Structure 1
Amino acid sequence: MISIRNEPALAIKDLHVKNTVTKSLAKPYLFWIGIAFLLLPGLIHAYLLMPFPGSQNLNAITISYYLEKVVTPLRILGGLVIIWYAVVNFSSNSRGGKIVKASVLALGLISFYFTDFKFQAERMFEEPQTVKFANFINNNVPESTVIIGVVNNGVAKAYPLNYLGYHHKIQDNVGNQPVLVTYCTMCRSGRVYSPIVNGKRQNFRLVGARHYNAIIEDETTKTWWYQATGKAAVGQLKGSQLQELPYEQSTLAAWISKHPGSLILQPDHHYLNGYNELRNYDRLQAVDKDSTLKNKDSLVRKSWVVGLVINGHAKAYDWRQLFKRRFVNDSFNQINLLLTLEKDSLTYHSFNRSVNGKVLHFNLDKSGQLTDLETASLWDWDGLSTSGILKGSRLSKVQSYQEYWHSWKYFHPNTLYWKDL
């Protein structure tokens, strides 16, 4: 029989054992909490800003923006918790427990290398280390290369698309005007903006991608901007708009024929492998490569379109149909339009086909030269009439963009769509 006098002692002993067991069970959670703070925010952030399966379809740019602000503080907190656990309680773990925790920590550090270094957007797609231009005589860029061309104050510059596609952006000056020349290969979207924000020239960094479009951040306000629209999506200047500058997309040969004195961006030897991977980027559509697709005129995510925005309204033109027809006379939002392709099938133009209050209708003659049906005047690819009654007249240019259908539709959800039937 147990003595009644021993019951308090047994109760104290039971309580001590209970507290010991509780502590031993609770302390490992500190390690896992530390791991969660150390790794999860960075992994989620990387997932949302890179084109991983499903990530780009989420409406998560605001979450991504503010998550980036807290990733470092949370990692510091997680690191401190893990260090405290390692000093105070790691030795009390079983051998198996030590191996598991050490392995998890090692895997976490490896993931940290990939999320913050290896696959960080601004490290993967650095800006050129050497920005060098050459005239056509000293040029090393093939004439068949597709370029984005910018003209200002009598100065013309050509930026090869495979260079832009790798770097995503080049910050430069054209005719003493600051320019931010951008291109996103996931959207097939080229844009040129003024980097002047609130009266100050900004330096922009590549953040990552949302909805398969590059996101850039200005240095002063840390606002995030969509490359495809120049609109501030989140941050101090949310809702603001970068000033868009006119540009043309054409082959280098076509560009030089109009601007023989143009300067041409030369390759930076540090990134030749990256450029080489994009050398055939502009030659075939996704539908042409898909052997399972019987109807090549099907509209798929990566179908090419030429898009225009006139007075806030958008319209897209099927590239394959434009390729077959070579020219389209159309009217949209009270503007009479001419869309046409040059013989190289890569250089496209968009013009207002009204001249001196008269609407013209265009065709291509047997030699492939533009002519209007009303006066039979001939026109060059810069919109200038070179002979006929209207000689010396010029068609005004309308800014247009070659883009993937999925991108154009997302950023212009109410767009109209033209397809020759």
Structure 2
Amino acid sequence: MKNILILCIVLFSIKEISAQKVVQKEAYEYFLDFFSSSDPNIRNIAHSYIKNNWNESFEILAVETLYFIKNPKDSIKILALLQKKTDKNYGYNYNSWYEYIWNKTAAYNSNYYKFKATLHHYIDYKFSRYFLNREQQSTIRLDEVRWGGVVQDGIPPLRNPQMITAKQATYLKDDHIVFGIAVNGDVRAYPKRILAWHEMFTDTVGGIPLAGVYCTLCGTVIVYKTNKDGVQYELGTSGFLYRSNKLMYDKETQSLWNTLWGKPVIGPLVGKNIELEYLSVVTTTWGEWKKRHPETSVLSLQTGHQRDYNEGVAYKDYFATDNLMFNIPKNDKRLKNKQQILAIRLPDQTEENLAISSKYLRRKRIFKHKIDNHNFTIFTDKSGAHRVYFTEDIEFSDYDKGVEATDNNGNTWQLTEDALIHTTTKQKLARCPAYNAFWFGYQAAFPNVTLIK
């Protein structure tokens, strides 16, 4: 009798421990059961738990589970539950689900970081490092961070790429688009037809370590100095997006960086006052750049990768319409999504931020304005390329849409990539860093930007 009593106590204790284990299981783990378990009974238990314990923080877990799940029966059950609990009928329109969530106050809790890390670990084990134990190391909403469809560096950056002379670049035609930079006399052109396949290059140009980042989705090429306060950051393509803008990562800490801000936004580097300095990039034609800079070097087709580098091939369908591949919380309809703007900001001096319509600037080949009480003038050449200079109180009356401008006193000035130079006195007016972007992507990154159109 005593032995039977002991056995009953032991069995009761086992049941209690099992019950405690169920209670101790975190809610996000039930969503992960749809990926980690092949047992339909476990997935049914997960569905029941989610249904009976639903709260608002489950919405993003359900949407991301639905996005990646492969089992059709589970997918139908989760979608039905999601639609019933939210009273929204978006079906498998994920952009609508994300927009619904993003336009509310964030409802996820700290365990969402663990969910995100584990879920994306199934795609690339490196992804888990972006999100594990990051709940106190983020300056952006985590539910706005979306996987872009590739593994880490799945779009391979060009590292120390081979450059050739302008004469050797017989593969380029004069009307092909290039991104031009000049650093300490080192003049280079990066054709869009090549860079669109790689979205980043890292190199030393003019003795300065740089990373050129091309976010094809938001039409932005930004060149950053990658040495900050004596630390050299080796950047790459994370595989993730924030508001349709690619997030970079640094190899040392696996922190995620916002491309348009030049700052780490998730990970160990957050809060360390790191912001990379950026340089001017000219979006122009090969013919115009070569004419101005016959000494320029240019990317070779010998990249070490097999791609169709013909003009206009990469992202052809995306560039052909105003539709977005990945949505943003809200679309500002003052301009079309992919209408180009010129971005003017001085982040080390002011929060003021200007986006000037490129279409507007093409109608006004000389445009004067100010930022943080600094007067600047934008000159737009025949190719539609913009160059910006701090012009103090000097007013300009004429510009030949090439390399020469005339001020109101009849003095002529030469436009160079470093400065605007008085042809007689050799006075120099410094270049103001600027770059082009699609309106939708830039406005999403800087909602308070001032638009001039």
TM-score range, shorter chain: 0.5 to 0.7
Assess, with a 3 A threshold, how the Cα gap between structure 1 residues 52 and 178 changes in structure 2: closer, same or farther: farther
1:315 aligns to 2:348 (yes or no): no
Assess, with a 3 A threshold, how the Cα gap between structure 1 residues 63 and 224 changes in structure 2: closer, same or farther: farther
Give the letter aligned to residue 279 of structure 2.
P
Partner Cα separation in structure 2 for residue 361 and residue 152 of structure 1:
27
Partner Cα separation in structure 1 for residue 208 and residue 353 of structure 2:
28
1:331 aligns to 2:367 (yes or no): no
| Residue 162 of structure 1, CA deviation | 3.0
Give the letter aligned to residue 181 of structure 1.
G
| Residue 218 of structure 1, CA deviation | 1.1
Assess, with a 3 A threshold, how the Cα gap between structure 1 residues 74 and 352 changes in structure 2: closer, same or farther: closer
Partner Cα separation in structure 2 for residue 201 and residue 272 of structure 1:
30
Give the letter aligned to residue 329 of structure 1.
K
Partner Cα separation in structure 1 for residue 321 and residue 367 of structure 2:
21
2:432: which partner in 1?
Answer: 398
Assess, with a 3 A threshold, how the Cα gap between structure 1 residues 352 and 325 changes in structure 2: closer, same or farther: same
1:30 aligns to 2:42 (yes or no): yes
2:177: which partner in 1?
Answer: 146
1:136 to 166, 172, 194: 166
Partner Cα separation in structure 2 for residue 410 and residue 234 of structure 1:
18
| Residue 180 of structure 1, CA deviation | 1.0
2:95: which partner in 1?
Answer: 53
1:44 aligns to 2:74 (yes or no): no
1:292: which partner in 2?
Answer: none
Computing the radius of gyration from Cα coordinates, the structure with the larger value is 1
Give matches, 1:201-220, under 5 Å. 201-220=233-252
1:261 aligns to 2:292 (yes or no): no
Q: Is the Cα–Cα contact under 8 Å of residues 65 and 234 in structure 1 kept in the other structure?
A: no
Assess, with a 3 A threshold, how the Cα gap between structure 1 residues 63 and 335 changes in structure 2: closer, same or farther: farther
Secondary structure (helix, strand or coil) at the match of 2:277 reads: coil
Query: What is the TM-score when the length of structure 2 is the normalising length?
Result: 0.62
Deviation track 1:269-304 (CA, whole Å, cap 9, x = no partner) reads 6111586424979998849xxxxxxxxx96222222
1:272 to 308, 319, 327: 308
Assess, with a 3 A threshold, how the Cα gap between structure 1 residues 55 and 218 changes in structure 2: closer, same or farther: farther
| Residue 66 of structure 1, CA deviation | 4.8
Give the letter aligned to residue 53 of structure 1.
N
| Residue 166 of structure 1, CA deviation | 2.4
2:269: which partner in 1?
Answer: 237
| Residue 353 of structure 1, CA deviation | 1.4
| Residue 195 of structure 1, CA deviation | 3.0
Unaligned runs of 5+ in 1: 1-26, 76-114, 288-296
Give the letter aligned to residue 408 of structure 1.
Y
Give matches, 1:77-226, under 5 Å. 119-122=149-152, 125-128=155-158, 131-139=161-169, 140-196=171-227, 199-226=231-258
Partner Cα separation in structure 1 for residue 287 and residue 276 of structure 2:
29
1:410 to 444, 450, 453: 444
Query: What number of residue pairs does the alignment pair up?
Result: 332
Q: Is the Cα–Cα contact under 8 Å of residues 390 and 429 in structure 2 kept in the other structure?
A: yes
Unaligned runs of 5+ in 2: 1-38, 49-59, 69-92, 124-145, 324-332
2:326: which partner in 1?
Answer: none
1:304: which partner in 2?
Answer: 340
Partner Cα separation in structure 1 for residue 64 and residue 320 of structure 2:
34
Partner Cα separation in structure 1 for residue 111 and residue 173 of structure 2:
43
Percent sequence identity over aligned pairs: 17
Partner Cα separation in structure 2 for residue 244 and residue 204 of structure 1:
17
| Residue 47 of structure 1, CA deviation | 5.2
Partner Cα separation in structure 2 for residue 54 and residue 251 of structure 1:
38
Q: Is the Cα–Cα contact under 8 Å of residues 195 and 242 in structure 1 kept in the other structure?
A: no
Give the letter aligned to residue 277 of structure 1.
V
Assess, with a 3 A threshold, how the Cα gap between structure 1 residues 307 and 286 changes in structure 2: closer, same or farther: same
Q: Is the Cα–Cα contact under 8 Å of residues 136 and 260 in structure 1 kept in the other structure?
A: yes
Partner Cα separation in structure 2 for residue 236 and residue 173 of structure 1:
26
| Residue 138 of structure 1, CA deviation | 0.9
1:71 aligns to 2:113 (yes or no): no
1:342: which partner in 2?
Answer: 381
Partner Cα separation in structure 2 for residue 44 and residue 183 of structure 1:
27
More helix by share: 1
| Residue 55 of structure 1, CA deviation | 6.9
| Residue 73 of structure 1, CA deviation | 7.3
2:389 to 338, 351, 372: 351
Q: Is the Cα–Cα contact under 8 Å of residues 171 and 178 in structure 1 kept in the other structure?
A: yes
Assess, with a 3 A threshold, how the Cα gap between structure 1 residues 66 and 279 changes in structure 2: closer, same or farther: closer
Partner Cα separation in structure 2 for residue 52 and residue 30 of structure 1:
26
Which deviates further from its counterpart, 138-147 or 166-175? 138-147
| Residue 174 of structure 1, CA deviation | 1.2
Assess, with a 3 A threshold, how the Cα gap between structure 1 residues 369 and 255 changes in structure 2: closer, same or farther: closer
| Residue 242 of structure 1, CA deviation | 3.9
Assess, with a 3 A threshold, how the Cα gap between structure 1 residues 247 and 302 changes in structure 2: closer, same or farther: same
Deviation track 1:65-109 (CA, whole Å, cap 9, x = no partner) reads 65443237789xxxxxxxxxxxxxxxxxxxxxxxxxxxxxxxxxx
Assess, with a 3 A threshold, how the Cα gap between structure 1 residues 236 and 66 changes in structure 2: closer, same or farther: farther
| Residue 136 of structure 1, CA deviation | 1.0
Assess, with a 3 A threshold, how the Cα gap between structure 1 residues 261 and 171 changes in structure 2: closer, same or farther: same
Partner Cα separation in structure 2 for residue 192 and residue 325 of structure 1:
26
Q: Is the Cα–Cα contact under 8 Å of residues 207 and 214 in structure 1 kept in the other structure?
A: yes
